[in-house]
Amino acid sequence: MTQHQCLDRTIALALLGFAVGAQAESKPPVYDLGVINVTAAPVALGAIGTDQVSSLVTLDDMHRFNRDNVGDALDLLSGVTVSTNSRNEKTVFVRGFDSRQVPLFIDGIPVYVPYDGYVDFNRFTTADLSAIQVAKGFSSVAYGPNALGGAINLISRKPTAELEGDVSIGFGDGTERSASANVGSNQGLWYVQAGASWIDSDFFRLSSDFTPTATEDGGRRNNSDRSDDKLSLKVGLTPNATDEYALSYYRQNGEKGQPPSTDPAAARYWRWPYWDKESLYFISNTALGASESLKVRLYQDEYDNAVTSYTDETYTKLRTSGRGNVGPAGKSVYNDRTLGGSVELRSTRLSRHDIGLSVQLKQDDHEADDTIRLTEHFEDTLTSVGLEDNVSLAKNLTLSLGAAWSELQADTVYKSSDPVPTPGVQSATNGQGGLFWDLDRVGRLYATVATKSRFPTLKDRYSLRLGTAIPNPDLEMERSINYEIGYQGNPWGQIQVESAVFLSDVTDLIQQVNNVVPGKYQMQNVGEVRIAGFELDVAAPIGERWEVGGNLTLLDRENRSDNTRLTGVPDRKLTAHATFRPAERWEAVLFVEHEGPRWDSQTVELDSYTTANFKLAFKPVEALVIEARLDNLADADYALADGFPNPGRMWFVNARYEF
């Protein structure tokens, strides 16, 4: 069967599955201060503003499909692809843009690691979230710089009752144990929300179809243990109907093994003894009279992690020399710090205008040290000013205009291995516009265009890439022009539809250029890429017992600068799900996902795959649900990165009590 025939069959299956979809989920309590909108239409408590044309993963979605980490939760959306990098971390692509180009936020506060711009989405659990908001292509300038392809915003919980919460406990294959608890109280004048979660696993199981290699014998995946725990606390003050002040604290600790590549030539024997993050956030919203309001965000983030490199699969003897492809010698310690804040002033004083002015300052600090006495210290300051004006052209027609200026200043550049010159100041100016037409009781049609940019990370500019690269401190920003036409709404009764056609022209893309000096490469602004695609999400009820839905993503990425392959993302993704309630207290859920082939490198193409998950849930009483599920029902053997196969069939049971 040819690739075009496979694509035609995929589209046909998608259209068949899209004939019906899932019923509208109930909206969980949402932390209104954490929501970022392009326009300032009021956001009702317990709802997400629709003005940003963002896609949402709700708390119901996370519970129904058992998405315990942010990466798996995002994989429910069209346009989003989950992959794995060389450190076996979970990474996310949005319409072909990676997580450096679509950064992660918590309540509008940036939380990506300063050094490389990445986060391991496995490390961020979902137990204390109310929703995940994803802006694709067109995003508010209030997010600040580097949102080249959009933004991912984790929205925390906010209590609405005097006492509310939930408790869960779970067990699973790989001797997995998990537990979480959330409790909140809203006393009118003030509120408090606290959460804790923990997950621990000794291993995951490979498919029975996996073919053993010299570095992986099958069955229990070697060195695949992990442990994560997280604490969160939020205290808020609401002195009146318009003002709110909240202080949040987060602490998450992780420890994990890193399974070696199944290719012996590429195997690394690494462990991560800790991957920790500690954060303190302050967010406020204050009315300045009847027409203006002021939102302030202040934050401090600390990222500490370490990796130990061993000589072999026994993980007993540290490597004492050399770097090369197998990584650093001995133990490497990384300490990253972020200190920043933003001020956003909004005004509706002018008739038909909703104007927003935002100013941001972000200071990043990175320090690293390893056992062969290679140390480095980098500091950056990032400044941004944004202006938005949302003009009401008619009763249901809004024109959204935005402009932003950003500047990157390198403050400290030090590497003990070799001197690196301090680069000059970089700046970027971006603009965007969107036309939004709201159709009564039907939905919204929109058309947007946005110019976006991303400054190179510290790693992009200075990393030696384990001895295989030379730095490029003068590396410049990437740029993109994102176009989109779409629809969101309920065109027929309870049927929900999201659909978009989009195009992105990316220039000055940072790509690897080989043999700049013999045997070493350098990151340079040489890429020109065109990304075009189509997304469709449909969900609707069938009678009183069935809910069926799914989504389709078609993506075409073309490298217009050279013959370098674009890696990590398949050209198609299809999901379908069905929920059946045979009796009042019973629910069965089937979730199927298909992804096309993807290039993992310039020479390795990974096969397409199809997986299915099944869950049976029972409610002995209204507040308690007991679940049993099988993931990867058919025990498919597949990989999202070469040398790192995904888990085979695994079982899990869990219980959740809500009050």
Per-residue model confidence (pLDDT) at position 441: 84
Band (pLDDT 50/70/90 cuts) for residue 52 is low
In whole angstroms, what is the distance from residue 185 CA to residue 210 CA? 49
pTM, full prediction:
0.91
Can you state the percent helix, strand and coil of the chain, rounding each to 5? 5, 55, 35
Per-residue model confidence (pLDDT) at position 349: 96
Band (pLDDT 50/70/90 cuts) for residue 42 is very low
Q: How many residues does the chain have?
A: 659
**Sheet containing 150-156, strands listed edge to edge, beginning at the edge strand earlier in sequence:** 55-58, 129-136, 150-156, 104-106, 109-110
Looking at residues 213-223, what average pLDDT do you find? 97
Band (pLDDT 50/70/90 cuts) for residue 4 is very low
What pLDDT digit, counting tens, does each position of 370-386 carry?
A: 765 578 999 999 999 99
Asked if 428 and 405 touch (Cβ cutoff 8 Å), the reply is: yes
What pLDDT digit, counting tens, does each position of 112-133 carry?
A: 899 999 999 999 999 999 999 9
What pLDDT digit, counting tens, does each position of 403-462 carry?
A: 999 999 999 999 887 778 888 899 999 999 999 999 988 999 999 999 999 999 999 999
The parent domain of residue 420 ranges over 3-658
What SS3 class is residue 648? coil
In whole angstroms, what is the distance from residue 378 CA to residue 367 CA? 7
Average model confidence (pLDDT) for the chain? 90
Cα distances (angstroms) measured from residue 258 to each of 17, 223, 614: 38, 6, 28
Per-residue model confidence (pLDDT) at position 33: 66
Q: Is the pLDDT of residue 12 over 50?
A: no
What residues have CB less than 8 Å from 57, skipping those under 6 apart? 67, 73, 74, 76, 77, 131, 132, 134
Which residue, 349, 335, 339, is CA-closest to 288? 349
Band (pLDDT 50/70/90 cuts) for residue 563 is confident
Which of 341-355, 507-521, 541-555 comes out lowest in average pLDDT? 507-521
Q: Is the pLDDT of residue 48 over 60?
A: no
In whole angstroms, what is the distance from residue 643 CA to residue 10 CA? 27
Asked if 478 and 451 touch (Cβ cutoff 8 Å), the reply is: no
Cα distances (angstroms) measured from residue 66 to each of 10, 74, 108, 126, 572: 26, 12, 25, 10, 24
The more confident residue out of 11 and 240 is: 240
Per-residue model confidence (pLDDT) at position 15: 33
The number of domains in the chain is 1
Q: Is the pLDDT of residue 584 over 80?
A: yes
Strand partners, 375: 369
In whole angstroms, what is the distance from residue 101 CA to residue 456 CA? 10
Band (pLDDT 50/70/90 cuts) for residue 319 is confident
Band (pLDDT 50/70/90 cuts) for residue 98 is very high
Write the DSSP symbol of residue 99: T
Asked if 134 and 80 touch (Cβ cutoff 8 Å), the reply is: yes
Question: Interior CA angle at 353 toward 350 and 357, to 5°?
Answer: 95
CATH code (residue 170): 2.40.170.20
Band (pLDDT 50/70/90 cuts) for residue 361 is very high
In whole angstroms, what is the distance from residue 111 CA to residue 366 CA? 14
Band (pLDDT 50/70/90 cuts) for residue 327 is low
